[in-house]
């Protein structure tokens, strides 16, 4: 189960390297946002080779271009669109390069389910069949950063808005042993805010985390849950513009691999 978290989702590559290296191969992949992107790659190739593919994808010009426009360009796009800062074309190009021109869920080697938030219904929707790229785009359409993705008569935004760490969905789909590839935020303690910027950050984190906490408390008997360690935050993660930082990708992958390997060795 791969959660959301933007550029911090690079830690999931290190976690997958540790899991696959230990011979742990999934029967089901559930993902949200960046977890939907990484999860789709895993579901298409559930072998250690996918780690190299993901490392290459994360280091590619297409990945850097997703949030890579200058602030003036982003503000100009926002002024024109009135809804978003960035062009979704680089993300679509990255997905096509990674998954193929018109991949279907049914083409994947491992069953995959990804979630997005429907604007019209104000509810989560799970995608597990049909065209893959539009569903991944929908799950990754960060509000304000990328435009909503239209599928059929509905518009969708980032799945993290409704289910950032979808443990309950993995269990609902029959999982009895779940490995949670989270991006590290739930490892960080929250404290009462003391300034305006902290009010927004703490409030957002409560909104992101509360459902996972409830679902952890409700794990049924006979189901084991392994919350994998991220290896800790990168310097600067607390800053407002950290969602654009790709320079810490390699360090995130290495830290998560080391921490997850140590965790698995203790099991």
Structural element, H or E, at residue 171: helix 167-172
CA nearest to 37, candidates 129, 170, 158, 186: 158
Distance, in Å, from the CA atom of 15 to the CA atom of 159, rounded to the nearest integer, reads 21
Distance, in Å, from the CA atom of 180 to the CA atom of 89, rounded to the nearest integer, reads 30
Task: Indicate the SS3 state at residue 250.
Answer: helix
Q: How far is CA 249 from the centre of its chain?
A: 14
The residues near 145 (Cβ < 8 Å, ≥ 6 apart) are 67, 84, 85, 86, 243
Full DSSP string of 163-210: -SS-HHHHHHTT-SEEEEB--SGGGS------SHHHHHHHHHHHHHHH
Annotated active-site positions, please?
33, 158
């Amino acid at each position: 189960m791969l959660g959301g978290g933007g550029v911090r989702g690079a830690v999931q590559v290190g976690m997958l390297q540790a899991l696959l290296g230990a011979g742990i191969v999934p029967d089901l992949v559930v993902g949200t946002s960046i977890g939907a992107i990484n999860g789709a790659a895993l579901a298409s190739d559930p072998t250690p080779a996918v780690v190299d593919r993901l490392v290459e994808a994360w280091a590619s010009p297409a990945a850097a271009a997703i949030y890579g426009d200058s602030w003036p360009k982003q503000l100009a796009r926002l002024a024109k669109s009135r809804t978003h800062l960035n062009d979704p074309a680089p993300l679509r190009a990255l997905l096509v390069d990674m998954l193929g021109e018109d991949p279907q869920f049914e083409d994947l080697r491992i069953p995959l389910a990804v979630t997005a938030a429907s604007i019209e219904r104000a509810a989560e929707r799970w995608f597990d069949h049909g065209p893959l790229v539009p569903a991944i785009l929908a799950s990754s359409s960060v509000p304000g950063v990328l435009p909503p993705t239209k599928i059929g008569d509905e518009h969708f935004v980032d799945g993290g808005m409704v289910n950032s760490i979808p443990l309950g969905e993995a269990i609902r789909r029959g999982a009895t042993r779940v490995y949670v590839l989270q991006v590290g935020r739930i490892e960080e303690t929250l404290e009462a805010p003391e300034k305006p910027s902290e009010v927004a950050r703490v409030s957002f984190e409560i909104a992101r985390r509360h459902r996972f906490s409830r679902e952890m408390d409700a794990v049924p008997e006979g189901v084991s849950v392994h919350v994998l360690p991220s290896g800790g935050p990168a310097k600067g993660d607390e800053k407002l513009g950290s969602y654009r930082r790709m320079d810490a990708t390699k360090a995130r992958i290495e830290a998560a691999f080391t921490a997850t390997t140590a965790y698995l060795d203790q099991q």
